[in-house]
Amino acid sequence: MSADESARRDVREPHDTQESRAASRPQPQRPGAGQSAGNGRGNSAGSSIGNSGGKGLRKTGAKTSAKTSGRGTAQPGPPGLAARDAATAILLKVVRDGSPLGPLLEAGGAPGFRALSAQDKGLVRAILDAALRHRGAIEDAIRKRLERPLDEKAHRLSALLHLGATQILYLDVPDHAAINLAVTAAGRDRRTAKTKGLVNSVLRRIARERSEILASAASVKGAPDWLIARWEKNWGPERTAAILAAHADAPPLDLTPKSDPAELAERLSGDLLPNGSIRLDRLHTVSKLPGYDSGDWWVQDAAAAIPARLLGDISGKRVADLCAAPGGKTAQLAAAGAIVTAVEKSASRMRRLKGNLERLRLSAEFAEADVFSFQPAESFDFILLDAPCSATGTIRRHPDLPWTKREDDIVTLRELQQKMLAQAANWLKPGGILVYATCSLELEEGEEQAHIFTKSHDMFEPMPLKTAEFPELQDFCTPEGFFRSLPGMAFGGDARGVDGFFAARWRRLN
């Protein structure tokens, strides 16, 4: 099997939740003894696709063509070039323009990507996942091997070098194939045609010095300086180092079962985590797993499954799930027997939510509205607000996040969260429970937000989490009684840990 085919096979089909889309991104492979395409780092024993064991570049025979970036007529290119062209265009959108990666890889996304075959789309996902996950180390390797810095406007040249180096360092693609395709791509665009020699020499040097580069990669910052400075201030240097190390590894695949976790874990040959989540090796075609068609489970990081559980016994009770899409938490609430109202303002995300619940054979009431325009007919017994946030706790699933966020975003989101939380409080019955959650590592979106709400709402009393109530969460319960997880924190003895999440809860006084 060719290197391109090997990389392409390491791709999962799109499935049912936002968490699952992140989990399904192809896992890049570091070259090394005994590694073959599709046999990713950090995976446990288990059935997976893409474990071909094949190496070496073999042309697939598929005819591909690429435009010269709007400069000249379309000319046929060698196999694999169209995929690299698409990856280059998407990388530029992410790192230059700050566009989120996800929408560019979905229907209606980047035109060059949409036109590719399913196999080439898988290859592009693999390249971009590795390029963004290891961006700091890759940029450092390129910078040290240039005779002079690139012009700050040389965006396409920078992207070509970055993607070529990505394949050499982190994907199971032969060096000569990665280098030749990068040089060819440079030569087909007049903006970079004169840099073919530079591309060739820099990438050849990176290939020669691969072992040295990978050995020092862990010491290179894996996120922008402003973000690392925040984490070191809030969590300390040691915790920050653990967070960055977790981001460098693609995460495992966690499932939330609809019922009987132990039986499902045995059926799937997965690990049963203390909270009832089932952890699998990432390399699975999710829709081919047992129980997918029958709706026995959904993809959801173990930490993302905690906030809904903090509500307690909700069977037969009215529960509002605010900002509900893509539906992982809605499914939890419905499976627990609640009468759920899922509130979501986005029409497209609401369609996805409904489709997910249909597969799971679960039901809910739906309100296509934002939190500020929603007008419930009656109050709720329980409310779960999983608020929009910077999502810095999910970088290991979304490696583009560090490069598309700005510090100003956190300020804007903090104000929105505060208003949403205050609005949600109006709809809770006396004696009812409110849970607020975010997938952020930032204190302003978590701990500080909870303190502000408590001080400004004297009709709500905090309900601190206690280890007696949730013994499995003892490492995640803060002194104030909040739930706080950070990437790099082991869970149930599994060193792969969980995403970064925050949750707090209150009871409305009578």
The DSSP output letter for 341 is E
Q: Which amino acid appears at position 63 of this protein?
A: K
**Which residues are 435's β-sheet partners?**
384, 505
Residue 328 labelled as part of a binding site = yes
Average pLDDT over residues 319-327: 98
Lowest mean pLDDT among 76-85, 118-127, 379-388, 501-510: 76-85
Q: Which of 447, 429, 428, 427 is nearest to 437 (CA)?
A: 447
Return d(Cα 321, Cα 309) in angstroms, integer: 13
Return d(Cα 36, Cα 11) in angstroms, integer: 15
Tell me the average pLDDT of the chain: 87
Looking at CATH, the fold of the domain delimited by 3-31+68-219 is given as N-utilizing Substance Protein B Homolog; Chain A (1.10.940)
All structural domains of the chain with their residue ranges: 3-31+68-219, 263-508
Question: What's the pLDDT at 297?
Answer: 98
Give 123's contacts (C-beta < 8 A, 6+ positions apart).
4, 7, 8, 80, 83
pLDDT at 500 > cutoff 90: yes
- Number of Cβ within 10 Å of residue 140's Cβ equals 17
Q: Is 428 left (phi over 0), alpha (psi -120 to 50) or beta?
A: beta
Residue 324 labelled as part of a binding site = yes
Structure tokens at 183: 């040089």
Residue 19 labelled as part of a binding site = no
Residue 327 labelled as part of a binding site = yes
Return d(Cα 404, Cα 12) in angstroms, integer: 24
Return d(Cα 461, Cα 267) in angstroms, integer: 43
What's the pLDDT band for 108 if we cut at 50, 70, 90?
Answer: confident
Task: Quote the percentage of the chain above a pLDDT of 90.
Answer: 80
Residue 326 labelled as part of a binding site = yes
For the segment 128-184, what is each residue's pLDDT rounded down to a tens digit? 999 999 999 999 999 999 999 999 899 999 999 999 999 999 999 999 999 999 999
Looking at CATH, the fold of the domain delimited by 263-508 is given as Rossmann fold (3.40.50)
pLDDT at 373 > cutoff 50: yes
Return d(Cα 478, Cα 484) in angstroms, integer: 7
Query: Which residues are catalytic, by number?
Result: 439
- pTM across the whole model: 0.84
| Helix (H/G/I), strand (E/B), else coil: 412 | helix
Reduced 3-state DSSP string for 430-478: EEEEEEEEECCCCHHHCHHHHHHHHHHCCCEEECCCCCCCCHHHCCCEC
Intrachain domains 3-31+68-219 and 263-508 with the same fold: no
